[in-house]
Structure 1
Amino acid sequence: MTETRDAQSRGFDFRVVNQAVITEYRATGGKLEKTLAGSRLLLLTTVGERTGRGHTTPLGYVVDEPASVDEPGVDEPVVVDGPEAVDAPEAGRRLVVYASNMAAAEHPQWYRNLLAQPKVTVELEADRFDAEAATATGPERDRLYAALVEGMPGLRTHQDQATREIPVVVLTRLP
Structure 2
Amino acid sequence: MAGKREVWLPSRAVMTAFWRFHRALVRYSGRRLGLWRARPGREGAMWLTTRGRRTGSPRGVILAYIEDGPNLVTLAMNGWGAAEPAWWLNLQAGPDVTVDLPGGPRPVRARAARGAERDRLWDLYRRIDPKLDAYARLRPTETAVVVLEPR
TM-score class, shorter: 0.7 to 0.9
Measured against aligned partners, the alpha-carbon deviations of 1:47-77 in whole angstroms (never above 9, x if no partner) come to 1101101111111111112xxxxxxxxxxxx
Q: Which amino acid aligns with 2:52?
A: G
Q: Distance in 2 between matches of 1:21 and 1:155?
A: 27
For 2:43 and 2:66, how far apart are their aligned partners in 1?
Answer: 12
Q: Structure 1 residues 96, 25: closer, same or farther in 2, change over 3 A?
A: farther
Q: Which residue of 1 aligns with 2:56?
A: 52
Q: Displacement, 1:10?
A: 4.6
- The Cα offsets for residues 70-114 of structure 1, whole Å up to 9 and x where unpaired, read as xxxxxxxxxxxxxxxxxxxxxxx1000000112222210000000
Question: How big is each residue's C-alpha offset from its partner over 1:30-60, in whole Å with a ceiling of 9 and x where there is no partner?
Answer: 359xxxxx96211111111011011111111
Does the residue aligned with 1:50 lie in a helix, a strand or coil? Answer: coil
Once superposed, which parts of structure 1, at least 4 consecutive aligned residues long, lie more than 4 Å away? 9-12
Tell me the TM-score normalized by structure 2.
Answer: 0.78
> Would you say the 8 A contact 1:45–1:56 is kept in 2?
yes
Q: Which residue is equivalent to 1:123? A: 100
Stretches of structure 2 that go unaligned for 5 or more consecutive residues are 1-8
2:121 to 138, 141, 144: 144
Residue of structure 1 in register with 2:135 after alignment: 158
The one-letter code sitting in structure 2 at the alignment partner of 1:55 is R
The one-letter code matched in structure 2 to 1:41 is: A
Q: Structure 1 residues 9 and 132, CA, compared in 2 at 3 Å: closer, same or farther? A: closer
After TM superposition, the structure 1 = structure 2 runs for residues 81-96 of structure 1, keeping only pairs within 5 Å, are 93-96=70-73
Unmatched runs of 5 consecutive residues or more in structure 1: 1-5, 33-37, 66-92
The one-character-per-residue Cα deviations of 1:8-40 (angstroms, maximum 9, x if unpaired) are 1756535523423433570338359xxxxx962
Task: Considering fraction of residues, name the structure with more strand.
Answer: 2
Based on CA coordinates, which of the two structures has the bigger radius of gyration? 1
Once residues 59 and 139 of structure 1 are traced to their aligned partners in structure 2, the CA distance between those partners, rounded to angstroms, is 23
TM-score, L = length of structure 1: 0.68
Deviation (angstroms), 1:151: 2.2
Question: How far off is 1:149 after superposition?
Answer: 2.2
Distance change in 2, residues 1:146/1:124 (3 Å): same
Identity %: 31
Q: In structure 2, what is the Cα distance between the partners aligned to 1:21 and 1:154?
A: 28
Q: Secondary structure, in 3 states, of the residue corresponding to 1:105?
A: coil
